[in-house]
Chain A
């Protein structure tokens, strides 16, 4: 069974600081890993998807890295803004599990103006 952990559970930073969000998974045989953003009471918005063959993926101020051997992914958000305040979730898919996603509990980020 794939276990996905996100530490810390909550993070507060001043505006302009770079954010580093961590995700660890127990089974390195992942197919891909997705990062999502969730605003309070809302659904999930896909931010980045990293295939198992990739080391990183970038979109604007967001950069996600993947290290399968250590079972870790990191989401970097450059120059944080108050609008980045949300919960960020990572989820891993495995071919052996028919691509169903196993989620972490998320990291809730507050960016202080």
Chain B
């Protein structure tokens, strides 16, 4: 397994356009998280999944954002009607949660979004 992958690595879009990002977690991981990171700050939690179920959406996630994880495998994050304030690094992480507890989160390389 090569770890968590994200696609695309960079995306430049014009304000008002829709964008979709993809995350492929480590195959045996049942948890998948999305975080957003702006320059000079640590990542902030956006949403997460346990298998295919979306468990929580942060208040940072407006109605323009939607995420899915069909069949509990890869996940997509869509932003509709992008705004300049959406410009950030979008990070995906995965981990395994079991009866013995939670294991470390592994992060992908991120998708850098620039909205012009």
Footprint of B on A, CB under 8 Å? 4, 31-32, 34, 36, 41-46, 49, 89, 91, 93, 95, 98-106
Confirm or deny: B108 has a beta carbon within 8 angstroms of a beta carbon on chain A.
yes
In the complex, how many angstroms separate the beta carbon of B21 from the nearest chain A beta carbon?
13
Residues of chain B contacted by A44 (CB below 8 angstroms): 43, 91, 93, 107
- Could you list 5 further interchain pairs (A-B, Cβ under 8 angstroms) beyond the known A43-B110, A93-B102, A98-B55? A34-B104, A43-B91, A44-B43, A44-B91, A91-B43
In the complex, how many angstroms separate the beta carbon of B79 from the nearest chain A beta carbon?
19
Residues of chain B contacted by A105 (CB below 8 angstroms): 40-42
Residues of chain A contacted by B108 (CB below 8 angstroms): 43
Confirm or deny: B105 has a beta carbon within 8 angstroms of a beta carbon on chain A.
yes
CA distance in complex: A41, B112 (Å): 8
CA distance in complex: A32, B101 (Å): 11
Residues of chain A contacted by B112 (CB below 8 angstroms): 41
A104-B104 in contact (CB<8A): no
Interface residues contributed by chain B, number (CB under 8 Å): 27
In the complex, how many angstroms separate the beta carbon of B38 from the nearest chain A beta carbon?
10
B97-A99 in contact (CB<8A): yes
A106-B102 in contact (CB<8A): no
A46-B104 in contact (CB<8A): yes
Residue of B nearest to A103 (CB): B42
CA distance in complex: A36, B109 (Å): 13
Can you pick out 19 interface pairs between chain A and chain B where the beta carbons lie within 8 Å of each other? A31-B101, A32-B102, A32-B104, A34-B104, A42-B109, A43-B91, A43-B107, A44-B93, A44-B107, A46-B104, A91-B42, A93-B102, A100-B56, A101-B93, A101-B105, A102-B45, A103-B42, A103-B44, A106-B42
In the complex, how many angstroms separate the beta carbon of B33 from the nearest chain A beta carbon?
7
CA distance in complex: A106, B106 (Å): 17
B48-A103 in contact (CB<8A): no
Most A C-beta atoms less than 10 A away, residue of B40, B97, B107: B107
CA distance in complex: A32, B33 (Å): 17
